[in-house]
Amino acid sequence: MTNPCPTCVRGCCHRHTVGVSGTDVQAIALGLDLAPALFLQAIAEPGVRGFLLSREGPAYQLALAKRPADTFPAPCLFLLELPDGTGRCGIYTLRPLVCQTYPAYTRNGLVGRRDDVLCPTEAWHDDTLTDPVWYERLAHQALAFDLYELVVARWNYHLLQNPPTPPRELADYYTYLTHIYAQLKLICAQVADWNAFCAAWDACLDRGAQPLRAACPELQPWQPTLDAIRSAVATSLPTTLAPQLLAELAQWETGILPLPI
C-alpha cells in the first residue's frame, strides 16, 4: 500500500472548496479551541444543506475558509505549503470527513476510487482503499451529513414559519450548531459499536431509505439512539411554533412533506 499524497503537487487542498457538516465544525472547534467563525466561510448556494439567515434567502453552505494568498485558487486555511510544491494538512487528525474520504466512494459496502478527482491517474489503484478504515470513514461521513441535513432543516423551518422572523446573523447559526452538536455528541457517545451503527446507516442509504425519515430494519437495534437524535433536534430551538406548524415539521422530518426550501 502506498500513499501518493506526500509527493503529490495536484493541489486538491487549493482547488477544492471543502464542504463541512456540523460534526466537522464541532471536531475542529473543540480540537483547536477555535470559534467556528475563525475557520469557516458561508457560501451562498442552494441545496438541501443550505441554511437561511433571512426568509428571503439566499441559502448558505458551510465550508472551510481559504487563506488569503497571491496564488489562485487560494489554499485551505489549514494547509501547510512546503518549498517543493507539496503540502501537508495542518489539522490532519481533525480534518473534515470529506478530506478523510477523498478520493473514495462507497456503494453496497464496497469502496472504490472516484473518477472525478485531481489525483494522479496512477494513484490509489493498489489495495490501499481496501483497508477497512476507508469504509468506516465513508459510512461515518454519510451519517454525519444526514444528521446535518436534519439540523439545517430544523433551523430553516423555524426561521421560515416562526413569526416574527428578523434576519439572523451568522453568529446565531454558529451558536445553534454549537448547542445542538453538544447534545448530539453525548447521544452518539452512548453508541457502543459506532462502526456497526454507521454501517447499518449506510446499508439503509444503499437501498434508498433515509434513516431519519423512515423506519429502517437495519437500525432497529439503535432505535433509542434515533429517537434521542430526533428529540434533541426537535427541541433545539424555542418551541413557539403554532401546533399545526409543529405537526407539519414532524411530517417533514419523517419525509412526508418536501423540503421547505
Q: What is the nearest approach in angstroms of ligand SF4 to the Cβ of residue 25?
A: 12
Which residue has cell 439566499?
Answer: 58
Q: Is 144 in the site for ligand SF4 (CB under 6 A)?
A: no
CB of 201 to ligand SF4, least distance (A): 23
CB of 11 to ligand SF4, least distance (A): 7
Nearest approach, Cβ of residue 258 and ligand SF4 (Å): 33
- CA distances 17 to 85, 181, 209, Å, are 19, 23, 28
C-alpha cell at 107: 456503494
Least distance (Å) between residue 197 CB and ligand SF4: 25
Interface residue with ligand SF4, options 34, 65, 74, 118 (CB under 6 A): 118
Which CB atom, from 11 or from 221, has the smaller least distance to ligand SF4? 11
User: What separation, in Å, do the N-terminal and C-terminal C-alpha atoms of the chain show?
Assistant: 44
- Cα 183 to the center of its chain, rounded Å: 16
For residues 124 and 4, is the Cβ–Cβ distance under 8 A?
yes
Helices 170-189 and 22-32 cross at an angle (nearest 10°) of 90
Please say which residue, 26 or 236, places its beta carbon nearer to ligand SF4.
26
Task: Using CB atoms within 10 Å of the CB of residue 65, give its burial: 0 to 12 exposed, 13 to 18 middle, 19+ buried.
Answer: middle
Q: Residue 89, interface with ligand SF4 (CB under 6 A)?
A: yes
- Cell numbers describing residue 103: 478520493
Q: The cell 489549514 sits on which residue?
A: 78
Site for ligand SF4 in 14-73 (CB under 6 A): 18, 64
Residue with cell 434515533: 226
Regarding 137 and contact with ligand SF4 (CB under 6 A), the answer is no
**Which residues, 6 or more positions from 102, have their beta carbon under 8 angstroms from its beta carbon?**
12, 16, 117
Which one of 62, 123, 152, 229 is in contact with ligand SF4 (CB under 6 A)?
A: 123
Judged by CB under 6 A, the residue of 66, 74, 103, 210 near ligand SF4 is 103
State yes or no: residue 5 binds ligand SF4 (CB under 6 A). Answer: yes
**Which one of 39, 51, 60, 78 is in contact with ligand SF4 (CB under 6 A)?**
78
Lookup: cell for 250: 414532524
The cell for 28 is 475542529
Shortest separation between residue 172's beta carbon and ligand SF4, angstroms: 25
Contact residues for ligand SF4, defined by CB under 6 A: 4-5, 8, 10, 12-13, 18, 64, 76, 78-79, 89, 91, 95-96, 99, 102-103, 118-119, 123
